[in-house]
Structures are given as structure tokens and as C-alpha cells.
Amino acid sequence: MIILVRHGEATHHTQSLTGGWTNSTLTKKGRAQIQAAADKLALDFAGRDVKLRILASDLERAAESARIIAKTLHFAGEIEYCEFLREKNNGVAAGMTEEDAKKIFCKPASDQELDHRNYPGGETRNEFYLRNVEGLWAAANLEKENLLIVAHKGTVQNIIFRWLGMDMQ
């Protein structure tokens, strides 16, 4: 069993900051969103003896989301915080306002480019995909472990693409 959870609303959403490696925290609304998801999971797991491993991005918005879920599930293990589960690295744009980041954004020639860097010091789409999937496939036995993964929209998409046998093309 693999459960994928995207973190709740974070301060970068409400403060017009870039996402990516901006290390934002959950908002009050984001904590409520994750608590609702955790409550639903607790109902689903009620009365079941499920051995679960929790992996989370080490960025605070995902890490906090994982802690809320773990507490609600009375998870006795350690949450594993994994850099490979981070969102796409937005390089020098991390922590910038969206307005300032637009000034240094490097537009690709087409939406189909997978080896283009949007920001200096950032990752390409291919590098992001490979970091996520190679990291997860090396860290976990996806066929035998029950995993709860708390990460980011792009990371969750990459895991699903790989699980479905799709490459970045």
C-alpha cells in the first residue's frame, strides 16, 4: 500500500512567494486540511494492524504535515525526512516573491523542454523527476512496504508517473 499526501496550504501560497525549495510553513488552513486528511486515514486504519513507514520531504510544510498525520495515527516509529522528496529546486528563486522571481525566470523555448533550467541554480524537469523516483525506489521496497509519503504536488506527480510506467517524455 502506498498513500501519497500533498502538504496543506503553506505560507508561500498566501504571501505570494515562490514554491519549490522555499521553506515555508503551514497556514492555519493548511493545518486544518492535513488534520482532516489525518482523521480520514485514522478512520480507514481503525481496527487494522497496519505496519506503516512514513517518508516526508524535509521542507517544513511537508514535514509539519507528516507530524500531524503521525500524531493522529499514533504512529510509534520515526518519520523519515528525505531531501529526495523535495519539490523541484527553483535555485536562486527560493524565498523570492513571485514578482521578483518573474524578473529572473528563464523561459524555455517550448513547454516540452525537459532539460531546461527555469532559474539559475535550479533543476531541470528531468533532474527533478530522476531525483524523486530514483531516491524513492532506492529507499523503499515499494512492493512489500506500506508507505505513507508526504511531499509536494510535483513530487507526487513524479511518483505517480513512474508508478504508471510513464517517462518524462
Average pLDDT, the chain: 95
Instruction: Examine residue 168 and state whether it is found in any structural domain, yes or no.
Output: no
Question: Residue 155: in which H helix or E strand, if any?
Answer: helix 153-163
* Cβ-based neighbours of 72, under 8 Å, separated by 6 or more: 35, 38, 39, 41, 42
**Looking at this protein, which amino acid is placed at residue 76?**
A
Question: Which DSSP letter does residue 16 get?
Answer: T
Q: What is the pLDDT of residue 167?
A: 77
* Cβ-based neighbours of 42, under 8 Å, separated by 6 or more: 72, 73
Instruction: Examine residue 15 and state whether it is found in any structural domain, yes or no.
Output: yes
What's the CA gap between 28 and 66, in Å, rounded?
A: 15
What's the CA gap between 87 and 82, in Å, rounded?
A: 11
Instruction: Examine residue 110 and state whether it is found in any structural domain, yes or no.
Output: yes
pLDDT tier at 103 (50, 70, 90 boundaries)?
Answer: very high
Instruction: Examine residue 106 and state whether it is found in any structural domain, yes or no.
Output: yes
pLDDT, tens digit, 9 for 90 and up, residues 44-94: 988 888 899 999 999 999 999 999 999 999 999 999 999 999 999 999 999
The CATH number of residue 146's host domain is: 3.40.50.1240
Q: Specify the length of the chain in residues.
A: 169
Say how many domains are in the chain. Answer: 1
Q: What is the pLDDT of residue 81?
A: 98
pLDDT(23) > 90: yes
pLDDT(139) > 90: yes
User: Which range marks the domain in which residue 142 is found?
Assistant: 2-163
Q: What's the predicted TM-score (pTM) here?
A: 0.94
Is-contact 116 168, C-beta < 8 A? no
